[in-house]
Structure 1
Amino acid sequence: MLSVLYVGAGGFLGAVARYGLGLVPLWPGLPLTTLLINFAGSLVIGAVVEAAAPARAALSPEAVLFLKVGLCGGFTTFSTFSLETLELLEGGQYLAAGAYAVVSVVLCVAGVLAGKFLVRALMPAA
């Protein structure tokens, strides 16, 4: 039962942070805020996974639930990304939609990798 509370608390904080950041308009006509939120969430989830790896074991299972499942799950917005890509397509902005989709995926995978490397650099394996 406590696991549900860890996930719920993290999810609440992640969702509220995502909502607040989503109110910041960065570029009219292009969902750049969502792209940056997804990148930040990808960076954090990469760092959490690496910090929780058996070689480091720097995070408790409860912390992993709170951060990875709760906070990152509530913060990252891949469903919003999908909706916004579809809206660009429906608006006839095919090049923008394609570029947005490709850049989002590449940048977020790079964010996970960067998060893992960051933890590896700051917390060498035991």
Structure 2
Amino acid sequence: MSVAVRRTVVALSSLVACALVVWTVRVAPWDWLPEDGGDRLTLGTGIGAVVAAAVIFALTSWIPPAAGPAPAAGGQPRRVTQIAEAEDWAVIEQAAGNRDTGGRTPRQAAPADALTQRATGRGRSRIRQTGGDEVEGS
């Protein structure tokens, strides 16, 4: 079952629980409830809101957490912008991730939350921009 369907089920369950509590308080002939219909509605709405919140709290473990990009060190979003302009025989190499050139395992870095790459080359220039981790030979 998709996350959207699960969220919809949780939301509808909480609404049904709230409506059921409000209806029960309005029609129940219990002596301890207020006699006035407006007071009963107020009491039912308050209790219904608490029950709806409890239903949402109970069912949140059923919904998987949103899978988003991991924040960079320090908890700040990592934004990477690479802009390169080359002419003649220029060689430009840029990497937003890690580039392993000696058979070593690249160090782990948080992926970029936003990556922008622009390149302009003229003549016999060469531009190489890497957005993620790269291991030599791949």
Same fold? TM cut 0.5: no
Which of structures 1 and 2 has the bigger CA Rg? Answer: 2
Answer 1 or 2: which has greater helix percent. 1
- Give the TM-score normalised by the residue count of structure 2: 0.29
Higher relative contact order (CA 8 A, sep 6+): 1
- Give the TM-score normalised by the residue count of structure 1: 0.32
